[in-house]
Chains A and B, each alone.
Chain A
Amino acid sequence: MELYQLDDKGTLFISPDIDDWSIVRERDICAIIDMDGDLDLGVPSVPNEYLYIYFPIDDVVALPDLEKLHAVARMGAMLAGNGMRVLSHCGMGHNRCALVAGLILTYMGLAGQEAVDLIRSKRQGALYNKAFAEYIAAQPAQPLDTGPQMAAQPAEALLRAIANQELQ
């Protein structure tokens, strides 16, 4: 099993099925988006270590539920934007994981076609599913405010802000 790093910072990866968790650990990955049909064997269950997002979809010409897909992608971009390392994987590491990763990249600020080109340059044969590739290519850059400043805020300030919002 090989991980394919997509961005220069090393916060976003794609891969085929995970058959060796030590590789995931070595890369300090903390969030796994599993797009394959079965739950991964040996998912670590250590408290506070991994986020495991399971969203199995089919590698077919039709697109999956776009609302859920974008929700997963936005979360991936938020995590990556906060410096956490995110791995999107499917069975072979070509289409489904790249669909999500492509959207994550658009939420990180790349235009859709740039995202497609980047993924294909990193992983031979990625996005050969034309429906997936065309969908990503059509997406605009839609960078999120990933809120590193929010992550850096002291917990007290954050709680105060939440309390203020609720009181208003």
Chain B
Amino acid sequence: MALSIAIETVEQVQIVRLIGDIDGATAPEAQAAILPLASPGCKILLDMSGVTYMSSAGLRLLLVVYRSIKGQGGEVILAGLTDDLKDTMEMTGFLDFFQFRDTLAAGLAALL
């Protein structure tokens, strides 16, 4: 399944909506779209509620995005992780360092 990426700005928060699978075929496109958003003090909300599958390429994408944003003193929150994605991130230890919220609204509120 292809990945659709939409970016919008709400106040100073950039919301990235990802819909579809994040795998080896789609992760480079997502990385190319998200990394330019990383800037000093940026606030980025990744809406993961539409992500149906995430392979290890997706985890690597999150790692790269996390490092890039944190490296610039920015903040990133994941919103709407499905139970499957949450399980994956928990198993692999990724949930230990990512902030996440159950809903987009809660993620937005945390960043504003």
A interface vs B, CB < 8 Å? 37, 58-61, 90-92, 94-96, 124-125, 128-129
User: With contacts A91-B56, A129-B56 known, what are 11 further pairs, Cβ within 8 A?
Assistant: A58-B23, A58-B55, A59-B23, A60-B24, A60-B55, A90-B56, A92-B59, A94-B59, A95-B55, A95-B56, A125-B88
Judge whether B23 and A96 touch: CB under 8 Å: no
State which of B25, B57, B60, B87 has its C-beta within 8 Å of the C-beta of A128: B87
Cβ of B6 within 8 Å of any chain A Cβ, yes or no, is no
| B interface list, Cβ under 8 A from A | 23-25, 53, 55-57, 59-60, 87-88, 91-93
Is B60's CB under 8 angstroms from A92's CB?
yes
Q: List 8 A-B contacts (CB under 8 A).
A: A60-B23, A60-B55, A92-B59, A94-B92, A95-B56, A96-B56, A125-B93, A129-B55
Greatest chain B CB density within 10 A among A61, A91, A96, A125 is at A125
A-B contact count (CB 8 A): 42
Please state if B92 and A124 are interface contacts (CB–CB under 8 Å). yes
Q: Using known A-B contacts A37-B24, A128-B87, determine if residue A92 contacts B93 with beta carbons closer than 8 Å.
A: no
Label chain A's interface by main secondary structure: loop
Bound form: Cα–Cα A95–B92 in Å: 11
Residues of A within 8 A of B57 (CB): 59, 91
B30 to A: closest C-beta gap in Å: 15
Bound-state CA distance A92–B59 (Å) is 8
A92 touches B24 (CB 8 A): no
Task: Determine if A91 and B53 form an interchain contact, defined as CB atoms under 8 angstroms apart.
Answer: no
The 9 closest A-B pairs by CB, nearest first: A125-B92, A59-B55, A92-B56, A125-B91, A59-B56, A128-B88, A128-B91, A94-B56, A124-B93
